[in-house]
């Protein structure tokens, strides 16, 4: 009985070793497949991110982009220009509250614009908070 048990255990051991080898081979094959798929996925993502088609065939179909010249239209008037226009139109001068009401800018913005224009000599002070063109 002991001999038979030993034979059975040896057979089981051989079968387990064979199964282990087969499972290790399968794991290696699976790893290779995963790496290949990951690599293929990265190249497609990169091509899409860079705006390139993923195949050469699609690249041939895509028309070349032409650069469009920028339109020369009206430019927007800056806040400083807006404030200076209002100051230049007035004869007696304009105070900061009037500038704030006409432009809709906040007090700080009006003060910054007026201060800069005063330093540059574009406007001059007539009274406290009142400015006239130079």
**16-68 confidence digits (pLDDT tens):** 999 999 999 999 998 988 888 888 776 655 555 566 555 555 555 666 677 66
pTM of the model: 0.45
d(CA 129, CA 110): 11
Pairing of strands 123-127, 130-133: antiparallel
pLDDT above 60 (res 104): yes
Q: Where are the domains of the chain?
A: 2-60, 79-133
Fold of 79-133: Arc Repressor Mutant, subunit A (1.10.10)
Average pLDDT, the chain: 83
Residue 59 confidence (pLDDT): 55
| Three-class DSSP category at 69 | coil
């Amino acid at each position: 009985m002991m001999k038979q048990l030993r034979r059975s255990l040896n057979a089981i051991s051989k079968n387990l070793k064979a199964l282990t080898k087969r499972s290790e081979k399968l794991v290696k094959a699976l790893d290779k497949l995963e790496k290949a798929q990951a690599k293929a996925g990265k190249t497609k993502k990169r091509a899409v991110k860079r705006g390139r088609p993923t195949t050469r065939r699609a690249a041939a179909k895509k028309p070349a982009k032409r650069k469009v010249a920028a339109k020369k239209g009206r430019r927007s008037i800056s806040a400083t220009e807006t404030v200076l226009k209002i100051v230049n139109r007035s004869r007696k001068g304009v105070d900061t509250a009037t500038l704030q009401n006409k432009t809709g800018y906040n007090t700080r913005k009006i003060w910054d614009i007026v201060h800069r224009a005063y330093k540059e000599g574009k406007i001059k002070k007539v009274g406290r908070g009142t400015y006239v063109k130079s």
